[in-house]
Copies of this chain bind each other. A is one copy, B any other.
């Protein structure tokens, strides 16, 4: 059950970093949606390695092959199978790591849990798995577009360098304009400098992605265990290297009192709205029509090129010098992944909400 996500709109993924291919099955996609293959490939290209000087030099064309579920350009309601073949495998880079556990990687726990592991490039634990999520997310976006939902994520912090402004004061159309995917140009430059510096040191750094969803229908999310924030948190914490999630006032406004943090209702343009939005568009687990916004924290890339202490598979302490190709910072490439998981979650909750009434 571990490789599926979603209740009704449900994705199932497979594939290892250095195996034959990655891919998945998208189930529950509504019928009659125009499947814009160019858009899907563009989304994958946003996630692709080797886009800029601050990402891994691994080159993959990451071309998606859609194998089913689309007929004469539109979805048919049947499951969409897809594969992305691996191409640029330097599996030998990992031979030296075969017998040793890389710090803060999944090598040790996979060996303990399963009694074996595909050690090449992290196998199933590699972030390369997110290729499949971006394909599924692109499909979800195509459906959500039809009901007007817009999802935009951006890099809001790298190390200690943070965008100070709220998303409302940023021009989110600028996200793709720079390598770090930060719409605040001056901050973006400082972020890029920081990443280049840690890379030159053979080190790595983490940060935060902020995601904004506009024009959300009211009523998405279910009471109690499938509150929308619970589904979103589950989605975001399933992304490799993520360490935290908050939405609305989150961890950042704990000094505010109820009288300051409550969102009073008002009537605006003949519709019920709220004057503030500390709720992040979700009340009681259910969307209220205001913008959803949330943050996802990412740790520094675990693979660094400094000599590290570790233990080998025989339980002896050894020194490790990493090889391979890795981003010094995963955050910019996490931006489309966060958007994808948000889209998957929202489409699922949208379709689920249809059960609320008999007619």
State whether B3 touches A265 (Cβ < 8 A): no
State whether B109 touches A284 (Cβ < 8 A): yes
Check if A62 is an interface residue, CB within 8 A of chain B. no
Annotate A13-45 by CB proximity to B: 1 below 8 A, 0 otherwise: 111100111111101101111000000000000
Q: How many residues of A contact B (CB 8 A)?
A: 153
Hey, which chain B residues are within 8 Å of A354, CB to CB?
351, 354-355
State whether A283 touches B108 (Cβ < 8 A): yes
Q: A2-B225, A287-B109 are in contact. Are A160 and B300 (CB under 8 A)?
A: no
Residue A356 contacts which of B14, B77, B280 (CB distance < 8 angstroms)?
B77
Most B-side CB within 10 Å, residue of A65, A198, A242: A242
Shortest A276–chain B CB gap in Å is: 9
Check if A186 is an interface residue, CB within 8 A of chain B. no
Check if A7 is an interface residue, CB within 8 A of chain B. yes
Shortest A156–chain B CB gap in Å is: 11
Hey, which chain B residues are within 8 Å of A10, CB to CB?
1, 4
A-B contact pairs, 27 of them (CB 8 A): A2-B226, A4-B225, A14-B78, A16-B71, A20-B68, A21-B68, A21-B81, A23-B81, A24-B25, A32-B115, A78-B124, A104-B278, A113-B219, A114-B356, A146-B358, A203-B259, A204-B257, A204-B258, A230-B234, A243-B251, A243-B280, A258-B300, A259-B304, A262-B302, A265-B317, A267-B316, A278-B299
Q: In the complex, what distance in Å separates the CA atom of A264 from the CA atom of B318?
A: 10
Q: In the complex, what distance in Å separates the CA atom of A307 from the CA atom of B29?
A: 37
Q: A236-B233, A254-B297 are in contact. Are A265 and B25 (CB under 8 A)?
A: no
Q: In the complex, what distance in Å separates the CA atom of A157 from the CA atom of B159?
A: 24
Shortest A264–chain B CB gap in Å is: 4
State whether B283 touches A71 (Cβ < 8 A): no
State whether B283 touches A109 (Cβ < 8 A): yes
Which chain B residue shows the least CB distance to A112? B218
Hey, which chain B residues are within 8 Å of A223, CB to CB?
2-3, 78, 106, 110, 124-125
